[in-house]
């Protein structure tokens, strides 16, 4: 049975009222649900919502750190990842963690394809042209979902010294066995619907681990758990992948 004009108008009013209630509720929650601590800037208090769709208690209002930045800092401190002999390459560098790394290493370099910010290297992560075996650490957070990840991972493997490590982070649906990709999805609007952001080209499943290992890396991972999630406003279950180039790995051969 077709809805009448009056019924359609009534439904529209109901939807509008429901939306208004949800907006009012969100505005209250967006200012913070529970006091948190920021390990980056030492702020203590309520965090704000951030993201699309919005995540509650996601952003520190003092330094603008997000969950992944705070997770990085916590584990970098815990495991003493960096020292004053290390060379580090940071792709799409996040201002929230750059000062921390730069202060602890011998050589800190940045890289991005975009020319909107000053970088040490304006390069494509899929083919940088940078020397083999040059870095002890490569940091690549929320980049792989934008690019040809097989090429990017191979390039990072090539640039790392034997025993060097890459810290990788990306959005993952752990309930999916396989990564979702569709080359027919090309427009920003369609990518937003399918992959969660207008410039993403995939949504990773738990097989991301196979993709990293296929590039020649050994792999370990650290995951946000309680009580850190509650204390520091982390994303439950968010993972940092530590991809290590085996100590005995041969240098990359020209043309491979």
Distance CA 45, CA 71 (A): 18
pLDDT at residue 38 is higher than 60 = yes
Return the ∠ at Cα 76 (arms to 252 and 71), rounded to 5°: 110
**pLDDT tens digits for range 188-246:** 898 889 888 888 889 999 999 999 999 999 999 999 999 999 999 999 999 999 999 99
For residue 16, the model assigns a pLDDT of: 75
Please tell me the CATH code under which domain 68-244 is placed: 3.40.50.150
d(CA 74, CA 126): 29
Global pTM reads 0.87
Q: Which of 19-33, 135-149, 240-254 has the highest mean pLDDT?
A: 135-149
Three-class DSSP labels, 166-213: EEEECCECCCCCCCEECCCCCCHHHHHHHHCCCCCCEEECCCHHHHHH
pLDDT in tens, 91-127: 999 999 999 999 999 999 999 998 888 999 999 999 9
Q: What is the DSSP letter of 226?
A: T
- Tell me which residue of 200, 213, 128 sits closest to 170, measured CA to CA: 200
Nearest CA to 215 among 170, 146, 149, 123? 149
Instruction: For CATH 3.40.50.150, list the domain ranges present in the chain.
Output: 68-244
Number of other CB atoms surrounding residue 4 within 10 Å: 9
């Amino acid at each position: 049975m077709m809805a009448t004009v009056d019924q359609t108008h009534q439904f529209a009013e109901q939807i509008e009222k429901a939306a208004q209630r949800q907006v009012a509720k969100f505005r209250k929650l967006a200012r913070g649900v529970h006091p948190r601590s920021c390990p980056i800037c030492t702020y203590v208090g309520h965090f704000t919502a951030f993201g699309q769709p919005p995540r509650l208690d996601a952003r520190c209002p003092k330094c603008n750190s997000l969950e992944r930045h705070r997770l990085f800092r916590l584990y970098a401190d815990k495991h003493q990842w960096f020292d004053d002999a290390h060379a580090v390459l940071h792709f799409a560098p996040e201002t929230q963690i750059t000062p921390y790394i730069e202060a602890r290493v011998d050589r800190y370099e940045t890289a991005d394809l975009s020319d909107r910010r000053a970088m040490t290297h304006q390069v494509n992560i899929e083919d940088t042209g940078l020397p083999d075996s040059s870095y002890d650490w490569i940091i690549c957070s929320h980049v792989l979902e934008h690019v040809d990840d097989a090429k990017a991972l191979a390039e990072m493997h090539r640039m790392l010294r034997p025993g060097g490590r890459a810290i990788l982070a990306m959005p993952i649906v752990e309930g999916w066995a396989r990564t979702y990709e569709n080359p027919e999805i090309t427009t920003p609007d369609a990518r937003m619907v399918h992959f969660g952001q207008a410039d993403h080209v995939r949504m990773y499943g738990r097989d991301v681990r196979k993709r990293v290992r296929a590039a020649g890396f050994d792999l370990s991972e650290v995951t946000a758990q309680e009580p850190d999630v509650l204390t520091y406003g982390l994303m439950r279950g968010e993972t940092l992948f530590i991809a290590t180039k085996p100590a005995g790995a041969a240098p990359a051969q020209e043309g491979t």
